[in-house]
């Protein structure tokens, strides 16, 4: 199994509809290709960790590299891995506005810092989604 961590510059403003479209495509395509990962957007950059079987990962990464919704893609780290970091996420997502000010990523963040950040974001979101209150809300059993 392979993984790839990259940073790229956004070409549109935060909260643009393009973010939703990127996420929708990732959720659909990654599920089909047995890929998992996490994407974070700050005001100016994307940070994404993607993992899975080598061939679909390489094909997906080439599509990402050619996508015109971002520029200056820079691979921070890539290689082989024995286990997945984001096994429960066909594509997790967070935005800078959702994170604490002291834990924000910058274009100078190291690969290790980015991975730790993405893992924390995934953990926080999973904890929220698994919370009893959120489960009741999603199941329609939340009482007003």
pLDDT tens profile 119-133: 988 888 877 666 555
Q: Do 5 and 77 meet the contact criterion of CB atoms below 8 Å apart?
A: yes
Sorted by where each begins, the domain ranges of the chain are 2-139
Architecture of domain 2-139: 2-Layer Sandwich (3.30)
| pLDDT tens-digit series, residues 107-123 | 788 899 999 999 988 88
Quick: pLDDT tens for 68-122.
999 999 999 999 999 999 998 899 898 876 655 555 777 788 899 999 999 988 8
Is the per-residue pLDDT at 144 higher than 50?
no
The answer to whether 5 touches 79, Cβ cutoff 8 Å, is no
Grade residue 13 by pLDDT with cuts at 50, 70 and 90.
Answer: confident
Query: How far from the centroid of its chain's Cα atoms is residue 79's Cα?
Result: 18
Instruction: Please check whether residue 78 is in contact with residue 37, taking contact to mean a CB–CB distance below 8 angstroms.
Output: no
In the block, tokens 């700050």 appear at: 42
d(CA 71, CA 96): 19
């Amino acid at each position: 199994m392979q993984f790839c961590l990259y940073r790229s510059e956004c070409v549109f403003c935060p909260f643009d509809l393009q973010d939703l479209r990127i996420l929708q495509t990732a959720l659909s395509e990654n599920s089909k290709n047995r890929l998992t990962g996490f994407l974070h957007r700050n005001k100016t950059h994307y940070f994404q960790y993607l993992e899975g079987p080598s061939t679909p990962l390489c094909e997906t990464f080439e599509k990402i590299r050619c996508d015109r919704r971002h520029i200056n893609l820079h691979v921070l780290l890539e290689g082989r891995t024995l286990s997945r970091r984001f096994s429960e996420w066909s594509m997790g997502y967070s935005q800078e506005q959702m994170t604490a000010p002291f834990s924000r990523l910058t274009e100078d963040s190291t690969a290790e810092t980015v991975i730790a950040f993405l893992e924390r974001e995934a953990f926080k979101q999973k904890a929220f989604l698994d919370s009893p209150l959120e489960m009741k809300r999603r199941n329609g059993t939340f009482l007003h």
